Amino acid sequence: MDEPNDHAIALSMAQAVEADAELIATLIHAIPEAGDGADHSGLDDETYRTLQAFNVAAQQGESTGAEAELSHEETHEASSVAGGDGTGVESATGDDSQSDADNQSYDTAPRDDVSQRDEGEIQGEEIQPEETQEEGDADDQPETTQVASPAPSELYVETKECLYCSDEFPIDMIFEAPCSHAMCQPCLIRSIRTAIKDESLFPPKCCGQAIPVDTTNTFIPEELLTECDNKREEYETTNRTYCSDKACSEFIPLRSIEAGIARCTRCETRTCLNCLSEAHEGTCTDDPESQRVIRLAEEHGWRRCEQCKNMVELTHGCFHISWIQPVLLASCLLAESTNASFNYEPEDQAVLSPNNDAAQSKPKTNNGGKKNIVFILTDDQDAVLNSVSYMPKLKEHIIDKGTSFVNHFTTTAICCPSRVALWTGKQPHNTNVTDVNPPYGGFPKFVSQGLNENYLPVWLKEAGYNTYYTGKLFNAHTINNYNSPYPAGWTGTNFLLDPGTYDYLNPIYQHNQEPPVQHKGVHTSDLISKYAHELLKEAIDAENPFFVAIAPVAPHSNVNLRRQPGNPSAPLMTIPIPLERHSHLFEGVKVPRTENFNPDSPSGVSWIHKLAQLNDSSVSYLDDFYRARLQALQGVDEIVEQVTKQLEDAGILDETYIIYSSDNGYHLGQHRLPPGKECGFDEDIRVPLFIRGPGVSSGSIENAVTTHIDLAPTILRLAGADLRSDFDGTPIPVLPTQENKRHEHVAVEYWGGAIAEGEIGGFDGKGQIFAQNNTYKGVRIVHEDYNLYYSAWCNNEHELYDLKTDPGQLKSLFPHDDTTADSTLLGTTARQVLNRLDALMLVLKSCKGNTCIEPWKILHPEGGVTSLKDALQAKFNAFYKEQVKVRFDRCEYGYLIDAEGPQVGYEYREGLEWHHWT
């Protein structure tokens, strides 16, 4: 394929798309706004006017012969927004190939075509809890409306947009749910199949109202109706029995159970209700009540019937047994004899009574050796600023009893993208959840990306676990959208919801699928402690192995989304509010005065390099903020002790893994930064990780590099479940005997802006709280011989730090001239090290699956190179010098592949092989 021609074609297409966008925008403004009460067949005014503009633009395009070109360009736009299908990657690759010849050095100058948004636009994205659900859904994904090649007006077909996929369908192909939301047939069927797999979602619902799944619903295939009826019978059965044949495991309805034996309707296997294995003759020794019968038999000399093998109680006479006829077998086990039973203790009488509870008790289950798992996930807790040192209960119950993973990182230092990556085992560029709010992130984006049916709790339930969650799940999980759809995969929940997620004294919790409840004046830490205890008790009392996630908001800033109308300038984020009983602690404690705390000289690049030094009052405020964070964490420390004691009291502490971590880190004055996260420095990306449990070394330290992407694979391995082939991470070496593929790198990435939290003047000293163009890619490498961080920003500035000599990341080694490029680093020059790091980042910035774990295989498919140390061999110098360099085409607030510069994919692998460069 002619690569220069491809580049020219792509440029022409982009220019045409831009021209069409300007035309459509003009037409949208030209169409009068609809008055109140206008009927647009279920579409809101904005969408209606946009569709009208598309129709007018299509008619104009037809008269100029441009209709086919418009269709092609819209397809290109959709693929770019979606984050890169085959077409999108190919276009980017073509551009990369062209840039090979033109870009052999690093562009360090800021670009002029950087996207800009003012503070008002950013604040307008905050959750508005007063919105109706319909308005919220429209706002969640304004860019995802897809319009096919528009037909002329005389061929116009009335359409509706599916709430779930956002595609347009003819109105007669749309199912209207009881809540009046529109669903296309594929989304309806997918919703039903998801509910069938997950009891917590059954029956299928929209906005909390059950969707009719019966013969009146013509959108549902007959076989799916039958499957749904069978599942309804299963879920409505309190004490369930499943076929003991592991290859079958079919639910056995009550009508197929008789005399303690369940007969499978699929494979005809007979299952014993006591031991849940294949039916057998005689008394079941796994049943505790039967064991007591055997004990009584030994004490009183009872014998078994030769035919049925059951125990026969001897009430009088000799020990001779004669079998007469089958009808008498029913009385063989325990002959009813009031004259005999009065001689026994009360508990033994209960065994002998024909009406005892054992005859009606639910079947016992066996965990099959599976271990329980509890995950405590804090919010914004640092690993670098010593917060863990102020948590004595965490140290006593988890750190001293388990393993500390001291090189654990998040790949994206902000809440929602980090949490989605954690629960899915995928890099944010593969989930495409890259922000805390729509359109690029939050719970609505998580749902629209299809992840609600494809994350850890769903997989654990498939593996036989009961799953529970309390606390914060995702951002933009609100009082309006909590049930549309409900988070899948959970057996029991008590979620925190916006706008009360970070309101310490007015939190909003929502139990299972019940309506949300605001708890005015009640501290969120006391509530989550209560709910954690209740859910853990429910998990312990059930018969399956369990996974319980507890996610307090401490030590996150206090956030008030409902600021008073008379005081619009009141700060959105303030110092965290501890429990009253902890508010006096740590008097005089200050932010650690490390070398990078409020340094005399500026550091970093982009907007960070422009920060002014903090004055004394700002530093004092940071110290207050730091103490409040430590105080807020004391509520979490109490939860740690409560959980371990509850497990110990239940006798299962030694059979339970307890994992402790945070979604991301935090900075307070380092590099002159106001309170916050979202940067690539270690303060923000390095997070705590401690694990205790069966087989885990006590009080040990693990130096291997681990990331949040590794946690979902790790938990599945601990649960004895199969790992997924599409994971971007690999199991962490929790047990000393485990062999895992380890790596030295972390793929760091971030999109959007940076928010200053608190009240110390923001980024410019005058209250400007939002730093634009904080989009960057980075690679963090930790090895016993080197410790590096390299990043490329969307304005094409770069930075490189050697943390062995500069742990505060104050002195960038990125070469700006030949002298600095030839300075010594790792036994060679900074230029040679940088060439390797840049090539590694080029692979990691768009990696998928095993490529994220073993990226050097893409650069060296013939093997021999598995680390930076291997790659630094002098024979590879020319190869790395000629590589395409990492750059951005523009700054964006989300993952848009056409803005990301050169990409690496399967199409591009051949261009990176050594023999093509020699």
pLDDT, tens only, 718-735: 999 999 999 999 999 998
| Tokens standing for residue 345 | 């203790």
Cβ pair 195, 207 in contact under 8 A: no
Please state the φ and ψ torsions of residue 422, each to the nearest 5 degrees: -60, -50
In 3D space, the residue among 705, 602, 715, 713 whose CA is nearest the CA of residue 656 turns out to be: 715
pLDDT band, very low/low/confident/very high, at 320 (cuts 50, 70, 90): low
In 3D space, the residue among 317, 398, 311, 275 whose CA is nearest the CA of residue 660 turns out to be: 398
Cβ pair 244, 277 in contact under 8 A: yes
To the nearest whole number, what is the mean pLDDT of the chain? 80
HSE, side-chain direction, 13 A CA sphere, residue 869: 8
818-824 long-range Cβ contacts below 8 angstroms, 24+ apart: none
pLDDT, tens only, 84-127: 433 333 333 344 444 443 444 444 444 333 333 333 333 333 33
Query: 199 or 734: whose pLDDT is higher?
Result: 734
Q: Which of 243, 415, 416, 794 is catalytic?
A: 415
The predicted structure's pLDDT at residue 289? 59
| Tokens standing for residue 588 | 């005089």
Residue 211 burial (C-beta neighbours within 10 Å; 0-12, 13-18, 19+): buried
Buried b or exposed e, range 472-510, using 16+ CB within 10 angstroms: bbbbbbbbbbbbbbbbbbbbbbbbbbbbbbbbbebbbbb
**Residue where the block lists tokens 């600021």:** 563
Number of neighbouring beta carbons within 10 Å of residue 740: 18
pLDDT band, very low/low/confident/very high, at 274 (cuts 50, 70, 90): confident
Helix (H, G, I), strand (E, B) or coil at 318: coil
Taking the C-alpha atoms of residue 810 and residue 823, their distance in angstroms, rounded to an integer, is: 17
pLDDT greater than 50 at residue 246: yes
pLDDT, tens only, 25-80: 555 455 554 444 444 444 445 444 544 554 554 445 444 443 433 333 443 333 33
| Tokens standing for residue 853 | 């774990």
CA 903 distance to own-chain centroid: 25
Query: Could you give the domains of the chain?
Result: 241-272 (no CATH), 288-318+329-360 (no CATH), 372-561+591-802 (3.40.720.10)
In 3D space, the residue among 165, 127, 171, 170 whose CA is nearest the CA of residue 146 turns out to be: 165
The predicted structure's pLDDT at residue 903? 85
Instruction: Report which residue type is found at 439.
Output: P
Q: Which region among 261-270, 582-591, 649-658, 835-844 has the lowest average model confidence (pLDDT)?
A: 261-270
Is 272 known to be catalytic? no
How many helical (H) and strand (E) elements, i.e. helices and strands, does the chain have? 28, 35
pLDDT band, very low/low/confident/very high, at 377 (cuts 50, 70, 90): very high
Highest mean pLDDT among 300-304, 365-369, 403-407 belongs to 403-407
Mean pLDDT for 881-895 is 94
pTM for the predicted model, two decimal places: 0.64
Please state the φ and ψ torsions of residue 214, each to the nearest 5 degrees: -155, -175
HSE, side-chain direction, 13 A CA sphere, residue 495: 26
Taking the C-alpha atoms of residue 138 and residue 30, their distance in angstroms, rounded to an integer, is: 22
DSSP secondary structure, 189-232, as one string: HHHHHHHHH-GGGPSPEETTEEPP-STT-TTS-HHHHHHHHHHH
Mean pLDDT for 678-706 is 98
Highest mean pLDDT among 195-209, 366-380, 515-529, 814-828 belongs to 515-529
Q: Which helix (H) or strand (E) holds 392?
A: helix 392-394
Mean pLDDT for 786-811 is 98
Taking the C-alpha atoms of residue 818 and residue 603, their distance in angstroms, rounded to an integer, is: 22
